[in-house]
Chains A and B, each alone.
Chain A
Amino acid sequence: MSPDASTPATRPTPAQSHATGNSRATGVGRATGVARVIEAIADAAERWRDADFPPRLRTTRALIERTGYTEPVVDYALDALFGSLTAAALEGTIASELGSLAALDEFVPRQGRPDVRFAGVARTAIVSSDTTIGVAVPALAFALCAGSHVIVKDRSDRLVAAFAATLGEELPELAQRIETSIWNGADETASRAQLESADTVVAFGRGESLAAIRALLRPDARFVPFGHRTSVGYVARETLGSSADAGSRAGITGRAGITGRAFDGRFPAARSASLGAARDALLFDGEGCLSLHVLFVEHGGALDPAAFARLFARALDEMATEFPAGYVEIDAASTAYRRAALFRTAQSTGAAFGSGPKLGGIVTSLDEVVPSLGGSDASLAGVEAPLCNVRATHYVTLDPPLADPPPFLRRTVALYGVSGPHEALAFLRRHALPLEAVAFGDGAPRTDLVEFALASGAARIATLGELQRPPLGGEHGGRERILPFVRAIYRG
């Protein structure tokens, strides 16, 4: 796409281009082969980045209807999805995995190996789950780049179909290679009809759904499953400020009773981490594989984990105004979790913080629930906050029992104080948590934290606040992007 056409508001539509004889539409002087496909995908994505693009507007409404997420959340998802779908990202990823972009169009030499060319598998099937937004689109893009015909199990919002229509406007041959359909996954006959001829099948969903899909495939078909996973954050002591930030050599503890003002203008790294973690926890109501449910906070910084918990609770309040909850009723599992947290808090074995817009949309200030952090019975004497607010729309618990699995609940985060990454790793292993990503505060993580991330099994190391915006070129789930959709032909 030429630089002068980069602004959606001024760029002619393909129809207009055709009418005016624009060379882009006729293909004169255009890239050929895979480069044409990449250009078309990037151009289509560019149009979808415009929040006023009519198909996007229609799809946004349908997505809100289907998922229940609020409009800012759906907008964030679409911005992140189509924002990542650039020509540079596609080209870079393909070149990285195949050795060169040209390998999709011609034989290319390789060091110490025969010349190779990559051709797309004849048929790719992508089964997107009913619980995510646009998860099929990146896979679709790479399968198209590979040259494969693609069938996508679309959802009621018809996001993929709408994007495919835009792709067809950009490059009509793409429309011939995409088929979107909606079928009932529980209907084995229908699923088999769609999947049994596929050379590569990409599927998203629960383990049992993935197992059912796998059973329908040809023995020689490639299966690329993406099961449910989770992500965790780690706030290192360096992020938690220095004694200069604290204004004292002793640092600040949760017991010291920090008020909101105590943080103002201080602890910039901690505040940034808290806001980032809040965004990661609240987006998609905490229901994505990149959603934050566990936050490890290291002892040894100027702020102790309890103080950071309060900072984090405030950050959640702030972020909740940007990304409101997509529901008003607290579900049963969350209720049970909060009741248990409240009981433990009353026993002075932890703390819980709940706040946010309550039922009826009334915004409340932070409601700290008996913050008797590690205290004795006497600490209850000064408690003023009522032991309630189980209906808050977001919730943080400090140091819940390590024997309990983390709360995979909507907008709920368990914060664990740890002496180092070894404790965090022990927790992850204890509960056998399959990780998609580990996020740290700003800046390069320490060597031992990188080692922790590697040992955790995560596919990605990210910065807090960026969890929900994975780059297109990253290996989602630890898997290659285009390799599943190609077969290699070597010469020699």
Chain B
Amino acid sequence: MNDAESRALDDAFLAVVADWSRGGEGCSEAQFDELARATFAYQVGRNGSYARFAAASGFAAGSGSAAGRMPATWREIPAVPASAFKDATLATFDVRGAELEFHSSGTTAERSGKHYIERAALYDASLTAGFDRFMLSDGARLRYLNLVPDPRRKPHSSLGYMMGHVSVLRGDGKAAYFFDDDRLDVAGFTRALEAACAEGRPVCIAGTAFAFAALLEALASSGTRCAAPPGSRIMETGGFKGRARVVERGELYAGLATTLGIAPEAIVAEYGMTELVSQYYDTRASRSAAGPRIKGSPPWLRTLVVTSDGREVPDGETGFLRHVDLGNRSSVVAIDTEDRGYRAGEGIVLLGRESDAPPRGCSLDAEDLLARQSQAAAVPR
């Protein structure tokens, strides 16, 4: 990456991140709007797939007689569906030069989406700033016990990369991974947790909801319980995508509290996507309050709640989440998701992807197909 336009956008983004990390606003609505639209214009000028989609949506790049309409505000930026990363290469650069390449899981595991990131520095900056704010506001140096793939073995797992990065940057140097090839190393995890307990070293246990459910099942069968050192916490993410077995979140958190001695208030649900550079996390206030958990994000990641045909819904109403992430400079700035939720104050409440269509009929459906296809057990993110 050595062109001035790309560097200018990256510099602007990194300045926003740095300001927010120092306690500043990061970016105002006006700054966000300006940067988002500039990023969009930059992307449709360099990414044919996105440009075609934008053109079909009524927006076009270019100048002179070929000039088309451009979004009047960031809210108008056409968002590609997350699945588009399976159908096209959505990058503003030659992906052979990508510093990061993350693959999404797929229900069939045959086609996975690929998110190419030109500069790891953008991802790292966004990740670290968000993690510090939402997971490490007390500045704790923790031991990271990761129920996620080891990034050295699974370099295309965004979740593995994420935990690898924070483990090195914010950990005590004894981080370990206990999830590989869709199998949980329960014995290894138990030993590591016992060692941390013996040392009085607080831990951060990170993993998908599915991995935690499997862990609880295994620990229950062996009758294992422990009390993690004070200051320990959990980062749960990923849900149960692609899994036939689902555990209700409240039940899961109660089980974690009982089995690992980490209170539900110290369990933070992270919400991210392979297709995004930045992440949402449960806010501290909502973790200890009654009612739904509210997710907060750094100011360079903003979300619209829209109808199925893309119209914004009033605050408080449920819709699909559309994310606009300035960190996605080298791919697509606006992503439509299958996730549903609603706006709550400055954050969002995530409702997830549970089917909103009542089960009827005797037709095969995606869930049936999933149950029939053993290869569906892909690691989320």
Contact B373 A332 (CB under 8 A): no
In this complex, the member of A132, A206, A339, A434 whose beta carbon has the largest number of chain B beta carbons within 10 angstroms is A339
A-B contact pairs, 27 of them (CB 8 A): A204-B362, A207-B368, A208-B371, A226-B362, A227-B368, A228-B363, A228-B364, A228-B368, A229-B363, A230-B364, A329-B356, A335-B320, A338-B308, A343-B80, A343-B81, A343-B83, A346-B52, A347-B87, A380-B55, A380-B56, A389-B309, A401-B87, A403-B111, A405-B107, A408-B363, A408-B368, A432-B369
Minimum CB distance partner of A386 in chain B: B58
B358 cross-chain contacts in A, Cβ below 8 A: 68
Decide yes or no whether B360 CB sits under 8 A from chain A: yes
4 nearest A-B pairs in the assembled complex, by CB-CB distance = A287-B361, A331-B357, A339-B81, A346-B56
A284 in contact (CB, < 8 A): yes
* Residue pair A343, B355 in contact (C-beta under 8 Å): no
Tell which of B83, B86, B108 touches A405, judged by Cβ atoms closer than 8 Å: B108
Tell me if B94 counts as interface (CB < 8 A to partner A): no
B191 at interface by CB-CB < 8 Å:
no
Provided the pairs A339-B336, A391-B308, A401-B87 are in contact, do residues A132 and B371 lie with their beta carbons within 8 angstroms?
no
Whether A388 touches B361, Cβ cut-off 8 Å, given contacts A332-B355, A343-B84, is no
Residue from B58, B108, B355, B372 within 8 A of A333 (CB atoms): B355
Q: Dominant SS at the A interface?
A: loop
Residues 344-381 of A contacting B (Cβ, < 8 Å):
344-349, 370, 377, 380
Question: Which A residues lie within 8 Å of B87 (CB)?
Answer: 340, 343-344, 347, 349, 401
| A333 near B366: Cβ-Cβ < 8 Å | yes
B338's contact among A293, A335, A387, A389, by CB below 8 Å, is which? A335
B88 nearest in chain A by CB position:
A347
CB interface residues, A 313-350, toward B, < 8 Å = 327, 329-336, 338-340, 342-349
**Nearest residue in B to A129 (C-beta to C-beta)?**
B362
Interface size class of B (residues with CB under 8 A): 35 or more
| Chain B proximity of A366: nearest CB distance (Å) | 17
Within 8 Å of chain A (Cβ to Cβ): is B110?
yes
Q: Mark B240-251, 1 if CB is under 8 A from A, else 0.
A: 000000000000
Kindly identify, within residues 195 to 237 of chain A, every residue whose CB is under 8 Å from any CB belonging to chain B: 204-208, 226-230
Q: Is B310 an interface residue (CB 8 A)?
A: yes
Contact B369 A370 (CB under 8 A): no
Most buried by B among A204, A329, A387, A433: A387
**Smallest beta-carbon distance A298→chain B, Å:** 24
Tell me, yes or no, whether A431 is within 8 Å of chain B by CB. Answer: yes
CA–CA, A84 to B78, complex, Å? 52
The smallest beta-carbon distance between B31 and chain A, in angstroms, is 29
Instruction: From the candidates A205, A226, A284, A347, name the one contacting B52 in the complex (CB within 8 A).
Output: A347
